[in-house]
Chain A
Amino acid sequence: MILPRLALRNLLGAGLKTWLNVVVLSFSFVVIIWSQGLYKGMGDQARVAQTDAEFGGGQYWQEKYDPFDPLTLQDAHAAIPESLQTKIEKGEAAPILISQATIYPEGRLQTILMKGIDPAQSVVNLPTRFLDQENEDLPVLIGTRMAKNTGLKIGDTVTVRWRDVQGTFDARDAKIVQIMKTNVPTVDQAQIWVPLDKLQALTRMENEASLVILAQDTREFPQTSGWIHKDMDFLLKDINTLVKTKQVGGSIIYIILLALAMLAIFNTQVLSIFRRRKEMGTLMSLGMTRGKIIQLFTMEGAMHSVLAAVVAAIYGIPLLLSFAKKGWAMPQAMDDYGIALGEVLFPVYGTGLVIGTTVLILLVTTIVSFLPTRKIAKLKPTDALRGKMT
């Protein structure tokens, strides 16, 4: 325990130089935790929103269904298998039928997806109850993004054209009964929601669906012929990849900041070893081994990060907590970011993040502090006492 005490004593004895390094390093602590917390918050928010509004507790896809292939979409439907039908009747699953369609808002043509959903479902968090309108021939629910792009408002009528199972074109006027506000662009952009039974009737696909969304607490996933179970790992893969990519991009800022702090510490260490040769000689004459002197100087450098952690905690904890509470308002342009961000982003700082960052900085600082001290291993005590470097 003698070395840490001596190292701390030497470090604090160096005064302003130490504190300058410590302050720069503490910025790295706060920025790393803040930015990583922000990305974690972004990922968590996106996952929750997407799970809530679109993925549920997993999905069954009709075997031809591929959301990224519009050419196969017309054939991606089949009768709902009995095992899934049982879950639907219990309210544990919601079938979705998807058909390509065209709408003509204000005389313009727009290709969209027409999605049929049970108005009474409670599996995903969409305001589908507004579709339960007996008086309307074809009630339609759209999102705010879709409304903005098409100029449609509640109460507007728009012509919808589609093809039925035989490939025959048909068209009808539909009425916008509700515009929903959602963080999830994939249940909003370029699509309209209609009652499932109406879409099944219009396309002559009675009791058929393209996919079935399971409730979030589903634990059993029956084997069904012609339908493929897609688990949450699969469904959230794109979000996870996107968040990871953003995280890597964001890391560049803190890598630069950390590099600057490390450069300052490296410089301090090199100067220390150059200027304090006589001190090293004295330590050797007092009976300290070269190994112990290397440890002492390395520890001195590494302790910058310990002090930085303390300083970062003093101003960083209130700052980061207030940020986590108030969140960060996302600009409107971020709505096209590709994932469900929401209007305010709340950073999430986990214990793992804080401990991980502390360990990372401590490790990097120790390595950077150790590198210049290797010169001490070659130092002759007599040369050191004369202030000479061997």
Chain B
Amino acid sequence: MDNSYLIKTDELVKIFPMGKSKITALNHVNLQFKKAEFSGLVGPSGSGKTTLLNIVGSLDSPTEGSATVMGRKIEDLSHKQGAELRNRHIGFIFQTFNLLPVYTVFENVEFPLLLLGLSAQERKKKVMKALEWVQLADRVKSKPAQLSGGESQRVAIARAVVKEPKIILADEPTANLDAENSHNILRTLEKINRELETTFIFATHDEKVIRYLRRKITLIDGKVARDEVFENPVGKGEGQ
């Protein structure tokens, strides 16, 4: 494997059985992602964006071909190894935030660090740093139900960032947010990408997100239709 790539897919195929028929979600996808990329998978619904994200995130496995993340082949990982990869190196941001409802903001962000077995002191330091990134350090004691959509997504970002993973996978992160909140979130993510050199992969069909991307991969019917790189994304500086 070429070590300059964090993520690499080779002839990746994912087929879902649907009753007696089968649906090909990914059809021989070959892609590579380098460190600190700010890229996105775009395309219509059912084009395979989320499926690709799930496989790269070791939440699913390929039917054929191979996906290599941080030098590990996803198809060869056991459940435990997959969980360890996610725990150490991958952060997720979901469309519906997926915050744990009975925990406070602090506890939600602290959760991945608990799984990593860090000391209370270390956890507190990292959690506060992550919450400062998303400008929610004053809401540590709030419960998810007390937060707005934008605030909830910022907590979810803090939770993904807190362990400083190499990769963050964001599935439609702005779909439930208004324009202003979307821009705020995207600026925060861009800042994290720049300062921590985290590789971001979005799955989106939101134009606001697409305008921030430095690399846009268009998927149609499970195939890579286009792979474009932008030196100066147009979204930068918007919404300010």
Contacts and interface: CB of A to CB of B under 8 A. Distances in A.
Contact of A9 (B57, B102, B115): B102
Interface stretch (A147-155, A187-195, A203-211, A377-385): A377-385
Given A2-B115, A381-B59, A286 B87 contact: yes
Contacts of B98: 278-279, 281-282, 285, 385
A287 B113 CA distance: 10
Given A381-B59, A385-B59, A385-B94, A286 B86 contact: yes
Contacts of A12: 102
A329 B107 CA distance: 55
A284 B83 contact: yes
A14 interface: yes
Interface string B74-102: 00000110011111100010101010111
Interface residues of A, number: 23
Contacts of B114: 2, 6
B83 A288 contact: yes
B84 A287 contact: yes
Contacts of B101: 13, 279
B112 A287 contact: yes
B7 to A, nearest CB: 17
B54 A382 contact: yes
A284 B59 contact: yes
Given A14-B102, A278-B98, A289 B59 contact: no
B102 A289 contact: no
A291 B80 CA distance: 9
Contacts of A382: 54, 59-60
A10 interface: yes
B92 A13 contact: no
A75 to B, nearest CB: 80
B5 interface: no
B133 interface: no
Nearest to A289: B83
Given A286-B111, A287-B112, 5 more contacts: A279-B98, A285-B57, A287-B83, A287-B88, A385-B98
23 contacts: A2-B114, A2-B115, A6-B114, A13-B102, A14-B102, A279-B98, A282-B94, A282-B98, A282-B100, A285-B92, A285-B94, A286-B87, A286-B92, A287-B112, A287-B115, A288-B83, A288-B87, A290-B79, A291-B80, A381-B60, A382-B60, A385-B94, A385-B98
